[in-house]
Amino acid sequence: VRLCRCRCRALLSRSAGVLRALRGLAAGPEMHFGFQTVTEAERREKIYQVFESVAKKYDVMNDSMTLGIHRVWKDILMHKMNPSPGTLLLDVAGGTGDVAFRFINYVRSVRERQLQRKLKHHQNLSWQEIFDSYQKDKFNSLGDSQVVVCDINREMLKVGKQKAQHLGYCEGLSWVLGNAEELPFDDDKFDVYTIAFGIRNVTRIDLALQEAYRVLKPGGRFLCLEFSHVSNPLLSRLYDLYSFQVIPVLGEVIAGDWKSYQYLVESIRRFPPQEELKAMIEDAGFFRVDYENLNFGIVAIHSGFKL
């Protein structure tokens, strides 16, 4: 583990330090980018570049790094959300569309069951009436549900749109370029707001949470799926070992990009732990804030309501 600690650090050459000192006053407060210290502006730029470069291999890498378990995490998020047809979802940092597609699938299957139940109750209707009811509901397989995928990164959205086309998702799906800290949407618009594995990359988390509060309707729900902290010491060491030794190697071999995945594991370590994030969500005005640990805290789902 000590090996991990010594080895897996960001570079801080002397000249960069001098430059930073000179620019420091003008460019804004110091922030972290993984284990490096950078200005706010630099951080945004670097993160943009990370996702620009990983966009095409994002899904493959997710599967390799988590051995496919990220799919289960996202499924659990969807079950927790339990959306009913007619829900308007905003998926921020939704990039390649994983949460959005799951939402559509979920709502579609709920809708199907709804229709089946309706049919059962209408078994005494005439054939004509049954046929008519098909017509009415046929063009409403989603039941007016909609999901807006918002991401700050063009490349990620591009990959998401291509995926949607490839998989056949067209109804009820919109793609918007936007910044979580300053959403291009009006107040009180959405029923649910999700941000899956995205809030870690936001530079001002407090602003993103405030925006989430703003765009949600009263009664709306905030859901955040994110890497979090493992408290079990043995598991934590194994997790560190895997994160720092294996993941950058996977990044290099599969995506030809060591640095982005080094950033990824470092940013996870830098992100506030469960209780701290809960407090931040409460500060933004949400009520009934709670979290659920998945896999001993490797991942956590935080939930809050706007009343």
Partner 1 sequence: RGGEEEEEVEEGWHQLYPGHIPTSPLQKALLAAGSAVMALYNPYRHDMVAVLGETTGCLALPNLRDKMKNHPEGYRILQERPRIRLSTLDMARLRGLPDGSLGREYVRFLEDNKVSPDTRMPPKFVDDEELAYVIQRYREVHDLMHTLLGMPTNMLGEVVVKWFEAVQTGLPMCVLGAAFGPVRLSARKLQVLATELVPWAIRSGLNASCILNVYYEQRWEQPVESLREEIGIFPPP
| Per-residue buried b or exposed e for 235-256, using 16+ beta carbons within 10 Å of the residue's own CB | ebeebbeebbeebbeebeeebe
- Rounded to a whole number of angstroms, the minimum distance from the CB of residue 24 to partner 1 is 17
Q: How far apart are CA 185 and CA 178, in angstroms?
A: 9
Examine residue 270 and tell whether it contacts partner 1 (CB under 8 A): yes
> What mask of x and - would describe binding to partner 1 in positions 91 to 110, judged by CB under 8 A?
--------------------
Q: List the one residue from 10, 27, 235, 294 that touches partner 1 (CB under 8 A).
A: 10
Examine residue 304 and tell whether it contacts partner 1 (CB under 8 A): no
118 HSE (CA, 13 A, CB side): 12
Segment lying near partner 1 (by CB under 8 A), choices 11-19, 155-163, 175-183, 286-294: 11-19
Q: What is the DSSP code (8-state) at residue 182?
A: B
Examine residue 11 and tell whether it contacts partner 1 (CB under 8 A): yes
Segment lying near partner 1 (by CB under 8 A), choices 9-17, 114-122, 125-133, 134-142: 9-17
* 240 phi/psi in degrees, rounded to 5: -60, -45
Examine residue 6 and tell whether it contacts partner 1 (CB under 8 A): yes
Question: If you search the block for the tokens 């209408």, which residue do you land on?
Answer: 122
Query: Which amino acid belongs to residue 176?
Result: V
Residues touching partner 1, count (CB under 8 A): 26
Examine residue 269 and tell whether it contacts partner 1 (CB under 8 A): yes
Q: How far apart are CA 141 and CA 35, in angstroms?
A: 47
Examine residue 242 and tell whether it contacts partner 1 (CB under 8 A): no
Q: What is the DSSP code (8-state) at residue 83?
A: P
- Footprint of partner 1 on this chain (CB under 8 A)? 3-13, 32, 35, 245-246, 248-250, 252-254, 256, 258-259, 269-270
